[in-house]
Amino acid sequence: MQHIECLIIGAGFGGIGMAIQLKKSGKSDFQIWEKASDFGGCWRDNTYPGAACDVPSHLYSYSFAPKKDWQYRFARQPEILSYIQQCAQQYQVISHLRFDHGVRSAEFDTERQHWVIEAENGNQITARYLITATGQLNRPLIPNISGLDDFKGEHFHSAQWRHDIDLTGKTVAVIGTGASAIQFVPEISKIAAQVTLFQRSAPYVLPKPDRAYTPWEHALLKWVPGLQKLSRVKTYLQYESRVLGFRFHEHLMKIMAGQWARYMKSQIKDPELRKALTPNYPMGCKRILLANNYYETMKRNNVSLCSDGISSVNDSGIIDNNGQHHPVDVIIYATGFKATEFLVPMTITGANGQSLHDVWKNGAEAYLGINVQGFPNLFMLYGPNTNLGHNSIIYMLESQFRYILSAIKYQEKGGFRSIDVLATPQRAFNENIQTKIKNTVWNQGCHSWYITDEGKNTVNWPTFTFNYRRMTSEFHPNDYHCQQ
């Protein structure tokens, strides 16, 4: 069985970025296992019409690989995917990729102090270090609605878009009004005969300050030293300031909610429609969405909104909770992902023979969102409580790259075979996280993908990202058991 120093699971922003940092530190004995036949993570998967980022391009990119010629302030999916691919080529990590290698299991061998990993295709390998970069938004959530299997029309999730299905002249049902729906509904409504949105709860949608960059701006970014870095810092600080409203100053969110209400009133004149599109929870409890054409689309004659809830599906359409039958040709699920189910469906078994999923039965948690006690030399990117509701996840990933590299260097310098975080610092870290989250707008009672069914927020980072950057700036050996 082949042995390597490091195996990375996943080839999205996290996995490719980690591979680049390993390369830059002089390491080459690693592989990246990717379950799909190409890389790019969520930007490979989400190809629905109108797919785009809601974080500005200069911030939603690696700080070590700036792109000066972004076409738009908020990049579209094809350009983001191309950027990831260009970075992989530029830093020569393509040869380390192994496609169609979804991980079935990973088990820590205590005698040899390394991981034994098996792919779903049967291939096996051992690795000293195991780094997961599977993301949180990679497993589409299909709603559990009675009768779905009886529907005779086409149906698919927005993250598994069926480009072979022509929606022209079709009657389309969209279940869900989240981040993907507000982007693709305006596009499909241009060609569909009728689009009906089935909404559980209305989102807060603010105008998106998007536009194309001009040739002059591209020239300035290219020729003026430090201008792009300055733009990135400015955008970072602007977005980072939103933590003040999410956690510290509730009145700031009320001010923003007032701005939204004025915007809504200017866009939607019909009081009944405006009422249906008004959220019934505090602003920020769910992700605040950005779009310039969503409310305009909701006024189209061929677009309707159903907020009555879904009772069931039959062979020809959807039946709402009032008993009304909505005949449709196609159903599109815009229902998000299984975000609180970390590292599923693979089985990860630690040093004591315990499954990671059993350890996490009451909700996932990790030290710094990176390490879990009992699982030596296992490192996670975008792990529990490291998602952001206010800034760019790339900033968090780069903090994690740095910390993981410092942990590996510490092991090598000290001659340690493995490191395992201690239970006490892990528990203290997570108790602190949960205490802080209780005071955020995310825990105000709305139903969101941040919260488990038991009511625990295992997803979000509850404070400033620069605090996380400081905490992960160097390895903390006193918080670990280091095995010689």
Q: pLDDT at position 245, please? A: 77
Query: How far is the C-alpha of 15 from the C-alpha of 36, rounded, in Å?
Result: 13
Q: pLDDT at position 451, please? A: 84
Q: pLDDT at position 249, please? A: 60
Measured in whole angstroms, the distance separating CA 297 from the mean position of its chain's CA atoms is 26
Asked if 22 contacts 6 with a C-beta cutoff of 8 angstroms, the reply is: yes
Distances (CA, A) of 76 to 138, 164, 165, 191, 348: 19, 21, 22, 21, 35
CATH code of the domain occupying 148-211+218-333: 3.50.50.60
Q: Return the CATH architecture of domain 3-139+338-483.
A: 3-Layer(bba) Sandwich (3.50)
Q: pLDDT at position 251, please? A: 74
Instruction: Indicate the domain borders of the chain.
Output: 3-139+338-483, 148-211+218-333
Query: Which residue ranges in the chain fall short of pLDDT 50?
Result: none
Q: pLDDT at position 285, please? A: 87
Q: pLDDT at position 138, please? A: 85
Strand duo 325-327 + 317-320: pairing: antiparallel
Q: pLDDT at position 31, please? A: 99
Q: Same fold for the domain at 3-139+338-483 and the one at 148-211+218-333?
A: yes
State the pTM of this model: 0.96
